[in-house]
Each structure stands twice: as structure tokens, then as C-alpha cells.
Structure 1
Amino acid sequence: MTTAITGGYVVPVDGEPIDGGTVLIDGNTIAAVGTATDVHIPDGAERVDASGQWVLPGFLDVHAHLGVHEDGEGWSGDDTNEATDANGARFRAVDGIDPHEVGFDDALAGGVTSAVIKPGSANPIGGQTVAVKTWGRTAFDMVFRDRVSVKSALGENPKRVYGEKDKTPSTRLGVAATIREAFTSARNYTARREQARAEGKPFDTDLTNETLSAVLDGTLPWDQHTHRADDIVTAIRLAEEFGYRLIVNHGTEGHRIADLLAERDVPVILGPIFTTRAKVELRHRSLRAPGILDRAGVRLAITTDHPVVPIDFLVYQAIVAVKEGLAPASALRALTVNPAGMLGLADRVGALAPGLDADVVIWSGDPLDITSRALRVYVSGRDVYRFDHDTGEGVVADRVYRER
């Protein structure tokens, strides 16, 4: 199926806007982006008139708990934290995803077409994250990168959970030591494994150490839950000690050390921005933080941490960040190309460009205008969401198999 979205104000994000531009979708990928005269529309293609509207790539929320924490379902819908082991590197978020959680429909209404789903932050090492599209009937349909990163936590969460449970670890010292011991064990494991392979000897695979070995060799980045500035510095210290790729998640006090983050080229997935000061670590929360980090030269993404903030509020957080000093162009990059680049997903999502997945959203106007809304959403070229002006509600393509 070929679809041509024509006449809109096309914002590729990683390129200059095109007034009256065309986005050509061929199957599940973008075939062309350009002016009306630059893009040849094949005979038989479906034409979608976007005149007077804005056309953008789908947004990414790269720190979400969609499908593994179903809001309102209580314990039966909460598969976020497997807190039975301080080192849960072998745990995989993909094994807990329910594609029918209502949050996935909310994501489409907010123009969010991709998410990185992460385990929680109860334990020092929480597990492996997964990149999904926000429409699909099963994980087979939705997953487009099955191992994206490894989630870890510093600060109050692991300290509190383990302090209450069995007293190990119960301080920041203990949490950092747990992570350090885990990487030391993985480094030794990797050396033994390589020696066994070189000698042609059998070797017993350990899933926890295999995962951490992939972090050490640079295959998987390290997503570090951390709020306080001193904890962010600890995260940097650990990363430099073991040589892995660090991504700061939350980074509530990151603006207080923005120069250090920029100097070390440590990216920050910031948020949720709409949150109370519900714990001590959030006492220096600032709506100005996105702008401060961006102006300092820190690579920035914005997250809702769904369900902490509903995922369809992702763009509203960007709007507030702009109100408080973040440049509008930077705000759009923080929802698209930046998060895609941080987590190695830029070959699939994050911009409107030939060869990328056809995740395209037609907005009624500038998405950074609070009155704008997503009118039509394509995920991998499939038309999966439309706003119905008559009912004032969005209509999502059915996720359930129907006999025909």
C-alpha cells in the first residue's frame, strides 16, 4: 500500500520544514519527503490532504512502563519491579507487556508511536529494556528492538526497598557497591568465557553476566535512574570506572551540574516534568531544567515515566518546557531524534526521512501549541488512529483478531 500525505507543513525534525510538502509512504517505510514537485506520487496511491495541518514523525517516550504497569489494575497489573534480586540484569521487560493496556491507545492520541519500556527502579539493577511501537496485537507486532539497554537505579528507590526487605543494600554506599560487584563479576566471567572459547572447552552460560558483559563491551547502554546531583556524579564515576555507555534517566538535579554532563557528553532523559516533590530527591525539581540542560549542550530527551504522568501528556511537558525557556526546535528534537539517537534507534525512528519506519502524525497545527491535537497517526505505515470531529474522540484500529 502506498500513501501520499500532501499539502501539509512537513517538519522532518532532522531537516528544514517544508511548507506544502509531501510524505510518501510505501508499505511500512517512508519512501520520500519533499516538495510537491520533488516527490513523484505513483498511480493508485492513496492521497491524504494535510493542507493547513502539520506533519511530523511520531514522538518517542524512551522511559515508560507501558504494558508492564497497568494503571488501576493493582497488583495484578503491576509487573514493573521484580525486586527479588538486587542484580536483575537477566530480567526482561518484554516478558511482562500487555499490548491491550489502555495506555497504548492514549499514546497514539498524544502522537507517541514508539516507546522504550523499562523495568522499575526497586533494585540496583532492574533488567533489560525493549523498544516497541504503540500499536500492535501482540509483542511480535510491536517489538522493533528486543534489547535496547539495561536499567539500573541509584538513590532512594533501591535504598528504601532493600532497606525495608532484608537490609541489603540499605545505603547509597551499599547500592553502588552492588553495582560495582556485579560489573566486576561480569568482567571476570567474560574473561573466563573467552579463555574457554579459545581453548575449545565447554562453558556454562550465565544470563545475568551475559547481559552485563554486553554492557561492558558497548553493545547495550546503561540506563541509570538517578535524581540527585551527587547520585548523578556517582553514576558518572561508575561508568568511567567500567567504561560503559551511560544515559542518565530522570536527572532531576541535572541542571545543577549541566556543565559536567555536557563536558562528559552524558545524555539525559529528563522527567517526568509534571510531578510533585513527593520525595526528598525531587525537592529541587525545576521546570527550567530542560532549557538549562539544552543551553549547556547536554543531549536531552523528555519522558513521562508513564504511568507517573500519562503518556499522552508527553507533548504537554515539552510545551511547558518551552514556556520555561527551552527552544521550540530543541523541544521537538527532545521528543524525536534525540531519544532515538541516545538508544540506538535512529536507523528506524525519530525523523521523517526515506528508509525510516513510516511513523507519521498529522497534527491540526503546531504540536507545541496547546490547542493542537493529533488528527491521524500512522505506525509502520498503517493508519491506526483518527480523531473523530463529530464525537470529539479518537478512534484506534482494532487490536483484536476478527474472523472475516
Structure 2
Amino acid sequence: MNKKILAIGAMLLSSIAAAQQTAIVGGTVHTMGPMGTVENGAVLINDGKIVSVVSADAVPSSYTQVNATGKIVTPGLFGALTSLGLVEVGMSAGSVDSSVVHGEERENPVSSVGAALDVQYGFNPDSTLIPISRVEGVTAAATGISYGDYMFNGQGAVASLSGEFDSLIRANAFMHVDVSSNVSDSHGGSRAALWVAIEQSFAEAASIRQVTGFAAYMPRMEWHGMTTRPDAEALLHVLNGKMPLLFTADRAADIMQVVAFKKRNPTVDVVLVNAVEGWRVAEALAEARIPVILNPENNLPGGFDQIGATLTNAARLHQAGVQVSIGMETHNIRLATQHAGNAVANGLPWQAGLASLTINPARIYGVDELLGSLEPGKQADVVIWSGDPLEVTSHAEAVFIEGEQMSTDTRQHKLRDRYMNLNSDKPMTHVRP
């Protein structure tokens, strides 16, 4: 009897395993890995992971096939810098987790400079913006505070857009500071004040670097720093290279200050954001190995910091050897493919354009062993496109996260359907979509 039960159990497990085996077959597969592009390829998926990319005629019979003939197949897109899961309506009267303000009426004893702030506690996988982004091929994103009057915008996270409650891939994934002309009045309204405060913050973090078991010891230490102890602990992780530090800067002079900071602190993993005039100092960025997250659409000066704005910024940075990532919006991150396409139209190679949406941001946040390319062992985040994903006439026909095909339902679709037929006995306010 026991042997029969074991045999039946084994058969059930075998059938479950087989059901989880999926092959996306017949498309042009851009792996963004060592295999490059595979024509008439097949992406083999088992239990949410990539098994391999093979020729379409080499698919094992145990795999359930998804026809992608004539289509383009890519890794899921990675939102390079967003506030997904932290904001719905920025001007909401309630709490908006993508912004943090302080003042006499909102003093925070945990943090004086913002470094200790941690968005993982505010991330909402039920955000309506997540499925809206997902249906356009975005399967993961870096998310963080977009506005605050602290010096640092806290610690951001990397999240899957699966909508599951355990969808945070990495908490404490990056730190962010703005050194552009958007300097807060609370920091003197001047770079002369801001940079001194930044240096002081890291000096205080460095002062505890040599303390053995500092995390356990610090609560018993007397602390009189400009930062709080939680701030210093968070900044120490940045100093030790465990958490990238994102600097937002536009003008070339500010960017060179970021390069100088990297030279003074070689263990810090520095990333440049926006970099409207980055092309002017591209060689210095390449030499310092500082990657850039940018919006390639900047082509007109939005202020004195952006006099050198040009649509060729991404192409010039790439040509100099700088790693470029694209995708900096939240409500419209789905337009990242259009932005990358425009960068390609202005000189960025096509493969570099796709890399800017996939493997490059994954590398920035240290999750490239899991995301960003179609390689064995990686998470099966895959998109089937109707055509060239960098063309505005193409769309995502199917989106898979961890091997599971995602629903195409969004709040926008439900609202459309709701108001297409107004013949109802009830007021529309009482009709649920």
C-alpha cells in the first residue's frame, strides 16, 4: 500500500514538473548574454528559471510550446530608476511613500541627513502602476524616493513587478543624492554647503569603519555627529561598496565633482543620474568606470545646468566606453523603449539600446546574476514582442515573470471597459469595473 502511494506521489510530482516546463519557440531571441542573438531560437523554462536557449528544432518533447514565430524575444525590461510601488498620485492628501519631508513639525530622530530612510517598508505590490508598466514589458525596477528635503533620498530597493507580496528582490539596493541645481534650501541652497555636508557625512561613517562589531557596539557609543547613528551605519555600507551611490548631476562641472568624489573614495560604487552634459566629460566617466542612468530625450536646456543638452548624449557616452542605462520615469516607465529607440536613432547602437533597458541596470544594482539576460539559471523574465521593441509601433504580446505568463488586465483597461457602455440602471459611481 505504501509503495503504491509513493508511486502515485512520484507520478504527480512528475506531472507538476512537466507542467512547469515551457518553451518560447521560433522567435529571434536577443539573450543579452554571451550567446548574443539566436535566430529561430527557443527559450527553455523550467520552474521559473531559464534552462537554456536552443534552436527551435531542439526543444524536448516534454516542454509546452509557446509560438513566437516571426516575433522578437528579449529579457524583461528593467526600470533603471523609478518610484514604482511607492506612489499612485503624487499630490495625494494622504501619505506618499515616494517623498519624505522634514522640519520642526516633522523631526525624525532616526535620521538627520536621510541616509537611514528605507523604502522597503513602503513598497506596495498592489500599486495600479505595476500592471500598467508590466503590460509594456517592464518586469523589474529600481524604486526609491523621488522627492525629499533631506540631503540623501534614502535607500532604494529592486522589485519584481509580479505583483506578489514577496516581490522585493533586493532591499537596501542603492543610496541616492542630488548635487544638481535642485539643492534644497535646508542645505544652504548652495553646492558650497551641500558638498561639505556630504563629505562630513561620509567622514563620520568612516570613523566607525574600523570598529569591530560596530553594529552591535554603536547603540552603546556616545554619538555627537552631524548624522545619526542609523545614518552612519547606512553610509558605511556605501563606503564598503555594498550599496551603489547614485549622484544626480547635469552640468559638466557637477559631474566632474562626482568623478573627484569617486577618486577620493575608490571603494564606493558610484553611478551618475541624468547627466545632461555627460557627453562633455565622457572620457573622464569612462576612465572612472562610472555608469550613467539618463533620459536621452533631453535636447533643450531646462536651466543653466543643461546648456549642453543634446539627443546624441547617450551615443557619445557609449562611444567613449560609458555603460548607459535608460528608464527614469514612474507613471510612464512604459515609454522607456521609445526613449531608447530615439537614442538609437541618434547614434546609439541597437544592441546598446536594448542593453540599456535590460542587462545594464541589472549590473548597476548587482542583480545581474538573476535578471537582465536570458542565461541558464536566471529568473525567467521574458517578453515576446510583435516587432522591434525599440519601435513605437511594436508592443509586448506576452510577458512572463518567473516563467508565469502575466495577465494583461490593468486599471486603465477596466476603466475603458466601464465607460464604453453607459447604459446602466445605477450611477457609474456604483458600478465596479
The bucket for the TM-score relative to the shorter chain is: 0.7 to 0.9
1:369 aligns with 2:391: yes
Structure 2 residue identity aligned to 1:292: R
Q: 1:258 aligns to what?
A: 282
The alignment status of 1:210 with 2:210, answered yes or no, reads no
User: Aligned residue for 1:401?
Assistant: none
Question: CA offsets per residue over residues 162-194 of structure 1, 9 Å max, x none?
Answer: x1xx5x332001111111010000011223x32
Matched with 1:183 is: 202
* 1:91 equivalent in structure 2: 117
| Separation (CA, whole Å) in 2 of partners of 1:316 and 1:60 | 14
Q: Secondary structure of 1:23's partner? A: strand
Unaligned runs of 5+ in 2: 1-19, 103-110, 221-228, 418-433
1:155 to 180, 204, 209: 180
8 Å CA contact 1:387, 1:393 repeated in 2: no
* 3-state SS in 1 of match to 2:69: coil
CA distance in 1, matches of 2:415, 2:30: 25
Aligned with residue 317 of structure 1, among 319, 324, 339: 339
Corresponding residue to 1:68 among 86, 106, 123: 86
Whether 1:173 aligns to 2:192 is yes
Quote the residue 2:261 is aligned against: 238
- CA displacement, residues 272-296 of structure 1 (integer Å, 9 cap, x when unaligned): 6368754443343221111111111
- Check conservation: 2:262, 2:288, Cα contact below 8 A: no
State the one-letter code of the partner of 1:263: E
Opposite residue 173 of structure 2, the aligned amino acid is V
2:99 counterpart SS class: coil
Distance 1:125 1:275, change over 3 A: farther
Identity, % of aligned positions: 27
Change (3 A) 1:71 1:255: farther
Would the aligned equivalents of 1:31 and 1:354 in 2 still touch at CA under 8 Å? yes
Q: Is the 8 A contact 2:178 2:247 kept in 1?
A: yes
Count of aligned residue pairs for this structure pair: 377
Matches within 5 A, 1:4-403: 4-14=23-33, 15-42=35-62, 45-71=63-89, 74-76=92-94, 78-84=96-102, 87-120=113-146, 122=148, 123-138=150-165, 140=166, 142-157=167-182, 159=183, 161=184, 163=185, 166=186, 168-191=187-210, 193-194=211-212, 202-204=217-219, 206-243=229-266, 244-271=268-295, 273=297, 277-307=301-331, 310-386=332-408
The whole-number CA distance in structure 1 between the counterparts of 2:59 and 2:409 is 27
Give the match's secondary structure for 1:88.
coil
Q: For 1:99 and 1:143, how far apart are their aligned partners in 2?
A: 9
Alpha-carbon shift at residue 153 of structure 1 (Å): 1.4
Distance 1:261 1:196 in 2: 34
TM-score between both structures, scaled by the size of structure 1: 0.86
Contact kept, 8 Å, 2:286 with 2:321, in 1: the verdict is: yes
Query: Residue type of the partner of 1:338?
Result: N
Deviation per CA, 1:371-394: give whole Å up to 9, x if none.
Answer: 110000001111114499xx9999
Asked if the contact 1:385–1:394 (Cα under 8 Å) also holds between the matched residues in 2, the reply is no
Q: Which has the larger radius of gyration?
A: 2
Q: Is the contact between residue 296 and residue 314 of structure 2 (CA under 8 Å) also seen in structure 1?
A: no
Please say if residues 88 and 127 of structure 1, whose CA atoms lie closer than 8 Å, have aligned partners that are also in contact.
yes
Q: Which stretches in structure 1 are left out of the alignment for 5+ residues?
A: 396-404
RMSD of aligned residue pairs (Cα, Å): 2.6
Q: Secondary structure at the match of 2:272?
A: strand
The question of whether the paired residues in 1 share the 8 Å contact of 2:130 and 2:163 is answered with no
CA offset at residue 68 of structure 1? 1.6
Match of 2:13 in 1: none
* Partner-residue secondary structure (3-state), 1:113: strand
Can you list the C-alpha shifts for 1:68-112, whole angstroms capped at 9, x where unaligned? Answer: 232365243532232326611111122222222222122112211
TM-score when normalising by structure 2: 0.81
Query: 1:50 and 1:317 mapped to 2: Cα distance?
Result: 25
Q: Secondary structure at the match of 1:326?
A: coil
Provide the C-alpha distance between the structure 1 equivalents of 2:344 and 2:151, rounded to a whole number of angstroms.
33
Looking at structure 2, the residues matched to 285 and 86 of structure 1 have their Cα atoms a distance apart, in angstroms, of: 34
CA distance in 2, matches of 1:252, 1:88: 25
Output the CA distance in 1 between the equivalents of 2:128 and 2:189.
36
